[in-house]
Amino acid sequence: MARSARFVVLAATLSLAAVVAAAAVASPAVAKPPSGKGKPTPTATASPTPTATPTPTPTATPTPTPTPTPPGDPLDVIAAVGDSISVSYNTVGFGSYPQYSWSTGTAITSHRVQLQQQTGGSLTAANVAQVGASSAGLATQIAAAAGAGADYLTIEIGANDACTSTVAGMTSTADFESRVRAALAGFSAQRPTADIMVASIPNLYRMWQVSKDKFAARFIWASAGVCQSMLANPLSTTTTDVQRRLAVQARVDAFNAALAAACADTPRCSFDDYAVADYIFTSAHVSTADYFHPSVEGQRVLAEITWPHSPFASG
């Protein structure tokens, strides 16, 4: 989303934002018994032939259904591609904190941790997501993930295709979908037995709603140029600004539909069924470093709500 370079320029002003932020109001299934005849006993007087008591065949013990093994190759490598969300950017301060990543993190119950608990082993993580990445760079990231031998790939992409300086600068839905489809096809070709989980894009309009009334948020959004297509003039209620915000969110909705369609057409791909897009984030889920990226709690929630849609989740 916001590019790290912008924050370097802000080094002199961050202390002011931090002071104000501190004062601001917060928020993964299994026999018939044989019939028999008795033999008559030879005597002078014929006796009735006794009917032999059939010997019942023991009821077969059902064969236990084995626990399904995870699909694909043995699970050794989990890879994350996409934007700053997956590298846990600005989670507890300025910069990337991948240990809190919803996908590959070790400090929260991420997908990686869930899989390690499930398999009883350890996984190698290849987090090649990048701050500021858009769909234009997805194919390159996915090629890197495939090259790292990813057995399970998570994708979170699209926010930066909508978070531009102006509405006119947003990626078209057609371009976004074609890029995602090409990237997914490339990964499937290189890693045909690997599994993919695509997460939807968070509701950017909700990110504006949650923090727009906080002075620290407005200060950082403006001075750092955070997602100006959505966050410019945050308190304005003019028709132009209202329609601008709605247009950005409409584009995000279209991107999410494109992600769902592209994933549905890709072998071994699971979509999160709009779990992230539909989640109502609160202030507790948003970092006070920039009032836009997920906090540690936000990353934890992302892991929690996406895991049930992973191909490795039970039930």
pTM, two decimals, is 0.78
Q: Considering the chain, what is the average pLDDT of its residues?
A: 84
Percent above pLDDT 70 for the chain: 77
pLDDT score at 74 = 72
Alpha-carbon gap, residue 289 to 21, rounded angstroms: 8
Asked whether residue 246 carries a pLDDT value surpassing 80, the answer given is yes
pLDDT band at 62 (very low <50, low <70, confident <90, very high): very low
Percent above pLDDT 90 for the chain: 75
Contact indicator for 266, 185 with CB cutoff of 8 Å:
yes
Least confident of 2-16, 143-157, 167-181, 261-275: 2-16
Q: What 3-state class would DSSP assign to 82?
A: strand
Alpha-carbon gap, residue 141 to 307, rounded angstroms: 22
Name 306's Cβ contacts closer than 8 Å, sequence gap at least 6.
102, 111, 154, 197, 199, 272, 275, 276
Task: Residue 12: count other Cβ atoms within 10 Å of its Cβ.
Answer: 7
Alpha-carbon gap, residue 308 to 177, rounded angstroms: 25
pLDDT band at 86 (very low <50, low <70, confident <90, very high): very high
Least confident of 73-87, 95-109, 125-139, 242-256: 73-87
Asked whether residue 68 carries a pLDDT value surpassing 50, the answer given is no
Residue 304: what residue type? E
Q: What is the pLDDT of residues 103-146, one digit of tens each?
A: 999 999 999 999 999 988 889 999 999 999 999 999 999 999 99
Q: What is the pLDDT of residues 147-194, one digit of tens each?
A: 999 999 999 999 999 999 999 999 999 999 999 999 999 999 999 999
> Among 229, 204, 208, 206, which residue's Cα sits nearest to residue 217?
208
pLDDT score at 315 = 54
Least confident of 15-29, 60-74, 226-240: 15-29
pLDDT band at 18 (very low <50, low <70, confident <90, very high): very low
Alpha-carbon gap, residue 179 to 138, rounded angstroms: 7
Average pLDDT of 229-241? Answer: 98
Q: What is the pLDDT of residues 284-311, one digit of tens each?
A: 999 999 999 999 999 999 999 999 999 9
The more confident residue out of 94 and 70 is: 94
Contact indicator for 89, 293 with CB cutoff of 8 Å:
yes
pLDDT score at 73 = 53
Residue 248: what residue type? V
Alpha-carbon gap, residue 212 to 154, rounded angstroms: 31
Asked whether residue 8 carries a pLDDT value surpassing 50, the answer given is no
pLDDT score at 7 = 35
